[in-house]
A and B are shown apart, each in its own frame.
Chain A
Amino acid sequence: MKYIDEYRNPKLAHSLVAAIRHTVTKPWVLMEICGGQTHTLMRYGIDELLPPEVELVHGPGCPVCVTALEIVDKAVAIASTPGVIFVSYGDMLRVPGSSSDLFRVKALGGDVRIAYSPMDAVRIARQHPDRPVVFFAVGFETTAPANAMAVWQAKREGLTNFSILVSHVLVPPAISLLLESPANRVQGFIAPGHVCAVMGYTEYEDLVARYRVPIVVGGFEPLDLLEAILMLVKQLEEGRHELENQYVRSVTRQGNQAAQHRMMEVFEVADRNWRGIGPIAQSGFRLRPEYAAHDAEKIFGVESLHAPEPPECISALVLQGIKKPVDCPAFGVRCTPDQPLGAPMVSTEGACAAYYSYRRHSLVVVA
């Protein structure tokens, strides 16, 4: 497929790896934010091709992984309500809540459906005007315009039975939090290309200026990531800290303004709880008051539901790049994709699931 195959050229990949080897003289710790990029790095074994000086740690950019426990509990409560059709992206079904998950709700007779697009949920609401239809609106800035469009369209059509459970999170506040942590080891970031396709990269220019850290907007194919790593290593070796855009074919400085406009018409910035990390100020979206009639938390009265995080999973440290999945004693033993303890093992984009799928767990010696 055009724009995919050519970015998987093995000869060029090896040349880029050679260029990285020739550039690097000191150890550097780099973080890719997005779970999709983590997945590419593991799938193609890029982490194993790199010289030992370049260490990759994996960021919190998997919305399934960072959706707060209480939001999953709210989803379970709403989906268990008789008559409700609960529609979700497939990844969210197996995410463990405090005592249940959406898959179990479905097994017990709940009408839980998987959708590819939020507009599928709007269509279901149109087909079932007599039943409440709730869409589980998770995601980062990439997904927010689509979810906003679903609510906007439902309001326009007068679909009073359609609502969304919002769990939207934003990338730049999470990067700030990581950089302000005394435990931070990250010296350069690959910014998430598809978030930037929507948002542009002016927010990341601000982060570069404030924290004097190099950031490269990167794509998702092996050559994209290798080029982004090379650009970061060059900056670090030369003592520069700049915003550079590797993913120029998809990302402009201002991003997609039509998408941003629709998103900000429907959502407003709010504080959010991140699973494993805790509350981060101004780090997500909630519906604007004009859309309160489509807010599932208000409709189903679950706003005050809170849930403490269980202590057995080290996902908080994994999501901040402080620990690797293989550092967890439960990894691959008590925690597997079939029986996940924490969300990073659930989503295929979670760092723990990526390590497990691509057999990095063979590194773990089980006593």
Chain B
Amino acid sequence: MCLAIPGKILDTEELNGIRLGRVQFGGITRHTYLDFVPDAHPGDFVLVHVGFAISKLDEAEAARTYELLEKAGLVADELGPEAPE
């Protein structure tokens, strides 16, 4: 139910005072309400839940997290295979 999918904003428009945009998820494009992410613009990635963007993804933080994950992986590799139980 709290499923939210990251997608890329393609364009934005105003309709009856509400900010909308087309957001691309892989091969699918959906109209999405962008009122809750006023600082998100075309090219940005947003997290979309029931037709609303609820968060703008922080690209720098995402890259940093992934780097840390990769490092954590390397550290575990360096520790060698696990002792048999």
Task: Say whether B1 contacts A15, CB under 8 Å.
Answer: no
Give complex CA distance A119, B66 in Å. 35
Query: Given the interface contacts A249-B65, A250-B47, A258-B38, does A22 sit within 8 Å of B76 by beta carbon?
Result: yes
Query: Is residue A142 contacting chain B, with contact meaning CB distance below 8 A?
Result: yes
Query: Is residue A349 contacting chain B, with contact meaning CB distance below 8 A?
Result: yes
Give, as a whole number of angstroms, the nearest-CB distance from B65 to chain A: 6
Give, as a whole number of angstroms, the nearest-CB distance from A216 to chain B: 13
Query: Is residue B10 contacting chain A, with contact meaning CB distance below 8 A?
Result: no
User: B4-48 CB contact bits vs A (8 Å, 1 = yes)?
Assistant: 111010000000101000000110000001011110000001010
User: A1-26 CB contact bits vs B (8 Å, 1 = yes)?
Assistant: 11110110001100110110110000
Q: Which residue of B lies closest to A63 (CB)?
A: B1
Task: Say whether A250 contacts B76, CB under 8 Å.
Answer: no
Q: Which residue of A lies closest to B20 (CB)?
A: A119
Give, as a whole number of angstroms, the nearest-CB distance from A6 to chain B: 6
> Which residues of B, 32-85, contact A by the 8 Å Cβ criterion?
33, 35-38, 45, 47, 49-52, 54-55, 57-59, 61-62, 64-66, 69-70, 72-77, 79, 82
Count of interface residues, chain B, beta-carbon cutoff 8 Å: 42
Interface residue SS majority, chain A: helix
Give, as a whole number of angstroms, the nearest-CB distance from B53 to chain A: 9
B contact residues around A349 at 8 Å (CB): 1
Task: Say whether A149 contacts B52, CB under 8 Å.
Answer: yes
Choose one: B1, B58, B72; the contact of A19 (CB below 8 Å): B72
Query: Given the interface contacts A22-B79, A256-B54, does A36 sit within 8 Å of B69 by beta carbon?
Result: no
Choose one: A4, A15, A36, A197; the contact of B54 (CB below 8 Å): A197
User: A109-145 CB contact bits vs B (8 Å, 1 = yes)?
Assistant: 0000000111110000000000000000011101101
Give, as a whole number of angstroms, the nearest-CB distance from B5 to chain A: 8
Give, as a whole number of angstroms, the nearest-CB distance from B20 to chain A: 10
B contact residues around A138 at 8 Å (CB): 1
Task: Say whether A2 contacts B8, CB under 8 Å.
Answer: yes
Query: Given the interface contacts A15-B76, A250-B55, does A194 sit within 8 Å of B50 by beta carbon?
Result: no
Task: Say whether B2 contacts A140, CB under 8 Å.
Answer: yes
Give, as a whole number of angstroms, the nearest-CB distance from B35 to chain A: 7
Task: Say whether A119 contacts B73, CB under 8 Å.
Answer: no
